[in-house]
Amino acid sequence: MFLPFLLGLVFKEFTPAFDFLISAQIAVLCGLILTWTCHVEHDLNLMQAMVTVALSWLVAMVLSAIPLYLSGHYRSFLDSCFEMMSGLTTTGLTLVQDLDHLSYAHNLWRHLGPFIGGQGITIIALALFVKGGSGGLKMYMGEGRDEKILPNIIHTARFIWLISLVYLILGTLALGIVGLAIGLRPQNAFFHGACVFMAGFDTAGFAPQSQNILYYHSLLFEIVTIVIIIIGALNFNFHYQLWRGNRRELYKNIETRTLLVSVMLTFFLVSIGLHKLGVYQNAMILFRKGFFSLFQAIPLRVI
């Protein structure tokens, strides 16, 4: 919550910044209470790890929903909880009211949800707070993950976040430059770039404007977003192989081949349906909008 708090101060959104200050204090207080009342010395067993992971998602949803509810853009606290769980699970359904006038700080928070949840709440906990022990591995398994990219599960978690942050910087720069080219103000170009990247990389479908990608009216913006979605759809083990210089993984990996074939086949069927319904005026518009919509819907990352 420190990031949107700072952003609120930078953009002189003092009331939104205060929302995050209050929410952060509540989160820290809850953390201290849990530390005092639930601290144990021994490692978790698998059942305890699964319960801990499940409860952590619910706690994260409730705490993350507080600043959104304080924004006044949600009809109830339940709506803001729905929004954050939708973001954390990269589902992409939204209940926000008057999105186009939502503050920069709250808008960033909406998009941080998919970015954190897409990598996994357990992953960020392992990367930042866990020093070692078998409990970390059991929590990793408790979140439905079984791949070990590196021998040590803590190093695996940190590598996943390293990849994600590097891609975040590169993706924000790419989308920000396109945003400048289509006439957005610099602050909006790179802010929108960061938000769209976080939603696209984790296939969440959120956007900082109510018109979503249509707001930009840019083929280049759509192409860059599709590339980001493809990168985000591929598992981190695949990215690790590429980072090691194993370029053959591009065509040898069964996931990339399956994704390519499924997208081509599905788009062929979708094109026939859209053409018969006369949804789009010509073949170019059909290909552009149909392909983007399909790619936004299909990819699901397997970690």
- State how far the Cα of 63 lies from the Cα of 59, in Å rounded to an integer: 6
21 versus 161: the higher-pLDDT residue is 21
Quote the number of domains for the chain.
Answer: 1
Q: Is the pTM of this model over 0.85?
A: no
Instruction: From 193, 191, 198, 196, select the one nearest 178 (Cα to Cα).
Output: 193
In angstroms, the first-to-last Cα distance of the chain is: 26
**pLDDT above 50 (res 302):** no
The answer as to whether 55 is a domain residue is yes
Cβ-count burial of 139 within 10 angstroms (0-12 exposed, 13-18 middle, 19+ buried)?
buried
HSE (CB half, 13 Å, CA atoms) of 212? 14
The answer as to whether 145 is a domain residue is yes
- State how far the Cα of 78 lies from the Cα of 84, in Å rounded to an integer: 10
Average pLDDT value over all residues in the chain: 83
In contact, 21 and 118? CB cutoff 8 Å? no
The answer as to whether 266 is a domain residue is no
**What integer pLDDT is reported at residue 193 of this predicted model?**
95
In contact, 97 and 80? CB cutoff 8 Å? no
Sign for the CA dihedral angle at 289, 193, 225, 206 comes to negative
- State how far the Cα of 172 lies from the Cα of 225, in Å rounded to an integer: 10
The answer as to whether 27 is a domain residue is yes
Alpha helices in the chain (DSSP H): 2-10, 14-38, 46-70, 77-88, 104-119, 121-128, 134-142, 153-181, 186-201, 219-233, 236-243, 249-252, 254-277, 283-297
Instruction: Record the tokens describing residue 64, joined without a space.
Output: 């993350």
CA 76 to chain centre: 24
Q: pLDDT confidence of 181, banded at 50, 70, 90? A: very high
In contact, 202 and 230? CB cutoff 8 Å? no
User: Domain of 190?
Assistant: 2-233
Q: pLDDT per residue over 237-281, tens digit each?
A: 777 777 777 777 777 777 778 878 888 888 888 888 887 888 777
The residues, any chain, with a CB within 8 Å of residue 7's CB and separated by 6 or more, are 13, 104, 105, 108
The answer as to whether 258 is a domain residue is no
Mean pLDDT across the stretch 86-94?
87
Share of the chain above pLDDT 70, in %: 86
The answer as to whether 144 is a domain residue is yes
The residues, any chain, with a CB within 8 Å of residue 216's CB and separated by 6 or more, are 179, 182, 192, 222
The answer as to whether 280 is a domain residue is no
The answer as to whether 140 is a domain residue is yes
Q: pLDDT confidence of 150, banded at 50, 70, 90? A: low
